[in-house]
């Protein structure tokens, strides 16, 4: 693959609630600022990506798995939303050769990995990407989480893939910095989400070695388990993979908003 002169960043983005950006909501502007952030994200990149590797909170597998289809279908893995949200499309091509390369890099790092030849894109992929790259003309490969939810393994997976950033490939983690379904809409969770967000921002913005250690031990952070209940931290784990891919780059919080009474943030490395 060609080497590009500008290293691509690694970014953790919030993907909202189901197809929230493409339907009416109450209040009407609940997701507006997040949508605007996602729509403007491509303008902040050093160049147009040659491909996107996206890890979504909505695909957990026993080992790291990668979409290998040439033309992945969409998985409408949400329920109870308006009929038109089940006809949204995002015909981005896959890139089977990149999928094979990702699995090889993960295996070299002693992380079991496989290509899934039939898996499509879940809503953690196509919903935010419809805003970030609406033309759907950049190849996308989705990477799963590992169902053991081990933060260190996901940091190591990101580290194994870090070299892709020097080849024009954008690594994206799609999840939510706060994800407790009980907490959304409950004002009592506002201070809880604030406390965890302050800790998470401090961890992301720490020097790389301190960042790695902090994220490995995220569950001991203030309000951590009220923000991501035990066994349900899949919306935070994409951040670990992105942070692993950061290598020596410092991180920063690049977006934050109050949505459904909770603080939701995005983070960028490089």
How far is residue 41 from each of residues 3, 5, 114, 231, measured CA to CA in Å?
23, 20, 30, 31
Dihedral of the alpha carbons of 87, 93, 96, 102, in degrees to the nearest 10: -90
Structure tokens given for 227? 């923000």
pLDDT digits (tens, 9 = 90+) for 38-97: 999 999 999 999 999 999 999 999 999 999 999 999 999 999 999 999 999 999 999 999
**Residue 5: pLDDT band by 50, 70, 90 thresholds?**
low
Percent of the chain at pLDDT above 90? 98
In 84-203 the beta strands, taken as DSSP E runs, fall at 113-116, 140-146, 169-175
Domain 10-269 falls in which CATH fold?
Protocatechuate 4,5-dioxygenase; Chain B (3.40.830)
pLDDT in tens, 172-210: 999 999 999 999 999 999 999 999 999 999 999 999 999
Q: What is the pTM of this model?
A: 0.97
Mean pLDDT of the residues in the chain: 97
Characterize the bridge pairing of strands 251-259 and 262-269: antiparallel
Q: Check residue 121 and report its DSSP letter.
A: B
Is residue 239 a contact partner of residue 251, using CB atoms and an 8 Å limit? no
Query: What's the confidence (pLDDT) of residue 6?
Result: 81
Sign of CA dihedral 17, 22, 23, 27: positive
> Is the pLDDT at 256 greater than 70, yes or no?
yes
For the chain, the domains span 10-269
């Amino acid at each position: 693959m060609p080497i590009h002169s500008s290293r691509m960043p690694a970014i953790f983005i919030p993907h909202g609630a189901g197809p929230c950006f493409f339907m009416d909501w109450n209040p009407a502007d609940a997701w507006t600022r997040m949508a605007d952030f996602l729509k403007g994200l491509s303008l902040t990149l050093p160049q147009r990506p040659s491909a996107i590797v996206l890890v979504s909170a909505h695909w957990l597998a026993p080992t790291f798995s990668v979409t290998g289809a040439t033309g992945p279908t969409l998985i409408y893995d949400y329920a109870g939303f308006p009929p038109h949200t089940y006809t949204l499309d995002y015909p981005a091509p896959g890139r089977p050769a990149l999928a094979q390369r990702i699995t090889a890099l993960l295996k070299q790092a002693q992380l079991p990995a496989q290509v899934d030849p039939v898996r499509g894109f879940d809503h953690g992929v196509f919903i935010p990407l419809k805003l970030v790259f609406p033309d759907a003309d950049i190849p996308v490969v989705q990477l799963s989480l590992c169902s053991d939810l081990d933060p260190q393994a996901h940091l190591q997976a990101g580290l194994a893939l870090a070299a892709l950033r020097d080849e024009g490939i954008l690594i994206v983690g799609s999840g939510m910095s706060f994800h407790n379904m009980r907490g959304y809409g409950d004002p009592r969770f506002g201070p809880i989400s604030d406390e965890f967000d302050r800790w998470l921002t401090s961890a992301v913005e720490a020097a790389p070695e301190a960042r790695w250690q902090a994220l490995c031990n995220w569950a001991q952070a203030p309000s951590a388990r009220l923000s991501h209940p035990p066994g349900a931290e899949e919306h935070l784990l994409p951040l670990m993979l992105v942070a692993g891919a950061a290598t020596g780059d410092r991180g920063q919080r690049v977006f934050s908003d109050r949505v459904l009474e909770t603080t939701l943030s995005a983070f960028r490395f490089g």
